[in-house]
Amino acid sequence: MKKILLFAILIGFAMLLKAQEKTAPTKVVKAAYFDKTPALRDMELIDPATVANTWEDGEVKNESVEMKGVSGNEPTDPASVQKYFGARGVKGPVVNVDGVGNVNGVYPPDTDGDVGPNHYFQMINLSFAIYDKAGIKLYGPAANATLWAGFPGPWQGHNDGDPIVLYDEQADRWLASQFAVQTSNGKSYQMVAISETGDPLGSWYRYAFEFDYFNDYPKIGVWIDGYYASFHMFGNSNFVGSGFAAFERDKMLVGDPDAQMIYFGQYSSKFGFLPCDLDGDPPPEGTPAYFVGINNWSNHNMEIYRFTTDWETPSNSSYVLEETLVPDAFNSNISGISQPGTGNQLDALENMLMFRLPFRHFDDYNVMLATHSVKVGSTVGVRWYEMRDTGFGWSFYQQGTYLPDSDNRWMGSIAMSANGNIAIGYSVSSSSVYPSIRVAGRTPDAPFGEMNIAEIEIVPGGSSQNGISRWGDYSCMSADPTNDSTFWFTTEYMKTSGWGTRICSFDFSDLQPPSAWAGVDSSVCENSLFFVAGSALYSSSVLWETSGDGMFQNPNVIDAKYLRGNGDISNGEVTLTLTAYGYETGQEDSDEMVLQIISESDADAGDDMTISAGQSVTLNGQAESSSSVAWSSAGDGSFDDETLLNATYTPGSDDITTGEVSLTLEALAIAPCEDSDSDVMNLSISAVTAVNVINKNDVAISIIPNPSNGKFEFKISGAKDGSVEVLIADLKGENVYEQRMELQSGVLQQSIDLSGYHKGIYLLKIKSEEFYEVRKLVIH
């Protein structure tokens, strides 16, 4: 009787499995709507704060299903749990910046992002931003609805969330998506946008695909013949089953409005399945897409379905179970994640695989990676798997549980580079650790099941989340498509007030000892900042230090700036030291450079002197910190050598006429100083009046007032009628006024305004065919 009963149970279970397989699509439909945007950079950015929140109390729903029938034993093989940290250091974090914050007032953020050749694109609930690969924001934050602004349809006014953004490496395109639910016609939609080029700031093709049920928790993967997606379908808050779809990639890449969707559903006993997402080289044409999930209804087996698509005859498409794998036993009965100072626990989402399901094709095998949360004793760790297909079906190549200490690790995401490195990122929290972000990883030469890369703390948490248990609901680890060693990760953490998100990168290239070069010995002008020109290789951080009393502006950046101190100036030089610290404890290297402090030039023309008419004078100039000197005269005299400090000056006829002349000594700066200094001395020449010495007529010249504020009147009388040239020059000999005027009836009277000129001594020069007069003019 027992045998008969057992046989009946087995037959019934087999029939249930058979019923879960679909050899023909549930439906095939074209996109409900399509259009093309202008370049995103030219579209109006919708401020997230201005978009109405669709969700009650700010909670973006993720309907859950209670899993039954799994006992949940702890691992029986202690080797499957890694209870120690990896020891191998790597470069990182290289980029480590805050992503989009809670600009929409919702929870959880559903953090996602991906990396391309030139950009990092992050999308969360309910906004996005685009960065360059140095972590500098190029666009945003903008409401996700910006991507669908002006797209006509029943989703107008919706900005509902559960976003996905992916870089399609084979096509050099971007995919951005979110759902639109509870729309005006009662339908639900998956909004999918494909960039027209590899530039995410350019134009986008926009599609909307219609569903009869609430298409919750959409997860999308890039594949060679389509964009594949999984959904949790709900009707009136009741789970009706998982759905699996393929979107017609080839048509969407060229903006064809007739792009189709092939859909299989609803699978009532499937929950938390993921579509594979292609990284790197494509597999052979015709390779089906794969969906993988854990059967949490009756066991913990890993189920692999293949989705075979025929776009020419969509009815030939199929979705069937390919492989069932039995993982190491694990416990998925997780009540929640603890935090410091509160009884509020965070959701672990332990009943499903975490986004993404990376797929890589190698010459002789294919790889898929997966991760989820498990409970070991009273602590939560991340279980991870590497599955391989060498041509004889899928199997576990290796698996492990990473739990190196008593802190909980969950909400993981995993990826593999082209050379086989694996990186995993996750959230960390416990009764003593606020929700934080860390990453770990392994190299191909590590023992099976071991993360041999030392754990890196990306950012520590600053507070606990109270009143809300929702966390995640997902994160994303990506492999940089431009090299084989860099990974990018984004997820949420708790700041000192509320949740935030982080974007980071780290590098698995061979770790070299750090190397510091402070630059060549150099010089700087005493009143200028010195821009150091050092470099550091294989360094996690740097530090600049000085032997003097100056200071660095941010001594922890390689391109720091140094401001000398007074002691540095007195000493004339200072030693600057650059220390580069490696990625492993104790690794450092230092180098020095000598910085010469150059003082500003200083000129002293000497005291004023008096000589007799007809004499020459030897000058007594002095100059400090000068590369060279040069004398100049405001008059018409000459120097025997104007480049000598003790040059000899012989007054000219104008000098003798005016009875004085200003001599200027200029001291040119020593490089790198640029500003020269000058000083003036006045040379008086005795036995000379202030009237002209060439006058052959009874010419009278008056200046009223003199001195003046620059506004004065001069008058000439007693001269013959005719033309005169009126010049006014400063003591450097530069004319500030020049005009030809006419004497009538022997008189010329003229008002002049020099109030805009500097105070000082000027020379009024009046020339005609009959006379030449010079007068001193003072502006005070």
What is the per-residue pLDDT for 760? 80
What is the CATH classification number for the domain harbouring 368? 2.120.10
Q: Of 471, 479, 352, which Cα lies nearest the Cα of 408?
A: 471
Q: What is the 3-state secondary structure (H, E, C) of 318-351?
A: EEEEEEEECCCCCECCCCCEEECCEEEEECCCCC
What is the per-residue pLDDT for 22? 61
pLDDT in tens, 671-700: 898 888 999 999 988 753 333 334 445 788
**Domain assignment of residue 693, yes or no:** no
The verdict on 223 and 143 lying in the same domain is: yes
| Percentage of the chain exceeding pLDDT 70 | 92
**What pTM did the predictor assign?**
0.72
Number of domains the chain contains: 4
The verdict on 269 and 395 lying in the same domain is: yes
The verdict on 729 and 766 lying in the same domain is: yes
Domain end: 480, 507, 534, which one? 507
pLDDT in tens, 525-567: 998 999 999 999 888 889 999 999 999 999 999 999 999 999 9
Confidence of residue 63 (pLDDT cuts 50, 70, 90): low
Q: For residues 718 and 698, is the Cβ–Cβ distance under 8 A?
A: yes
pLDDT at residue 16 above 60? Answer: no
The 10 Å CB-count burial string (b at 16+, else e) for 399-434 is bbbbbbeebbbbbbbbbbbbebbbbbbbbbbbeebb
What is the per-residue pLDDT for 228? 99
What is the per-residue pLDDT for 26? 94
Q: For residues 598 and 625, is the Cβ–Cβ distance under 8 A?
A: yes
Confidence of residue 13 (pLDDT cuts 50, 70, 90): very low
Of 546 and 182, the one with more pLDDT: 546
DSSP letter string, 608-633: -EEEETT--EE---EEESEEEEEEEE
The verdict on 284 and 211 lying in the same domain is: yes
Q: Indicate the range of 2-16, 289-303, 309-323, 465-479 predicted with least confidence.
A: 2-16
What is the per-residue pLDDT for 267? 92
Confidence of residue 213 (pLDDT cuts 50, 70, 90): very high
The verdict on 360 and 500 lying in the same domain is: yes
DSSP annotation of 148 reads G
Average per-residue pLDDT for the chain: 90
Domain end: 556, 575, 598, which one? 598
For range 205-215, the mean pLDDT? 96
Q: For residues 106 and 60, is the Cβ–Cβ distance under 8 A?
A: yes
pLDDT in tens, 398-452: 999 999 999 999 999 999 999 999 999 999 999 999 999 999 999 999 999 999 9
DSSP annotation of 744 reads B
pLDDT at residue 67 above 70? Answer: no
The verdict on 280 and 148 lying in the same domain is: yes
For range 264-280, the mean pLDDT? 95
DSSP annotation of 49 reads G
In what helix (H) or strand (E) does residue 769 lie, and over which residues does it extend?
A: none
pLDDT at residue 49 above 90? Answer: no
The verdict on 153 and 279 lying in the same domain is: yes
The 10 Å CB-count burial string (b at 16+, else e) for 76-93 is eeeebbbeeebebbbbbb
pLDDT in tens, 582-617: 887 788 999 999 999 998 889 999 999 988 877 889
Q: For residues 528 and 544, is the Cβ–Cβ distance under 8 A?
A: no
What is the CATH classification number for the domain harbouring 707? 2.60.40.1930
Pairing outcome for strands 127-132 and 119-123: antiparallel
**Domain assignment of residue 11, yes or no:** no
| Percentage of the chain exceeding pLDDT 90 | 72
Q: How far apart are CA 711 and CA 753, in angstroms?
A: 4
**Domain assignment of residue 13, yes or no:** no
Of 111 and 55, the one with more pLDDT: 111
Q: How far apart are CA 745 and CA 743, in angstroms?
A: 7
What is the per-residue pLDDT for 53? 64
What is the per-residue pLDDT for 9? 35
Q: How far apart are CA 449 and CA 451, in angstroms?
A: 7
The verdict on 632 and 722 lying in the same domain is: no
**Domain assignment of residue 587, yes or no:** yes
* 225: its two tokens: 């013949």
The verdict on 194 and 338 lying in the same domain is: yes
**Domain assignment of residue 70, yes or no:** no
Confidence of residue 21 (pLDDT cuts 50, 70, 90): low
For range 627-641, the mean pLDDT? 93
**Domain assignment of residue 4, yes or no:** no
The verdict on 574 and 594 lying in the same domain is: yes
The verdict on 581 and 658 lying in the same domain is: no
The parent domain of residue 340 ranges over 26-50+80-507
Q: If you search the block for the tokens 């001291």, which residue do you land on?
A: 667
**Domain assignment of residue 1, yes or no:** no
Domain end: 507, 536, 569, which one? 507
Q: Identify the sign of the CA torsion 566, 569, 573, 579.
A: positive
Of 58 and 500, the one with more pLDDT: 500
Q: How far apart are CA 159 and CA 48, in angstroms?
A: 10
Which residues are 525's β-sheet partners? 598
Secondary structure class of 146 (helix, strand, coil)? helix
**Domain assignment of residue 658, yes or no:** yes
The verdict on 457 and 523 lying in the same domain is: no
What is the CATH classification number for the domain harbouring 662? 2.60.40.10
Q: Of 260, 274, 133, which Cα lies nearest the Cα of 217?
A: 274
For range 695-717, the mean pLDDT? 85
Q: Indicate the range of 25-34, 222-231, 750-759 predicted with least confidence.
A: 750-759
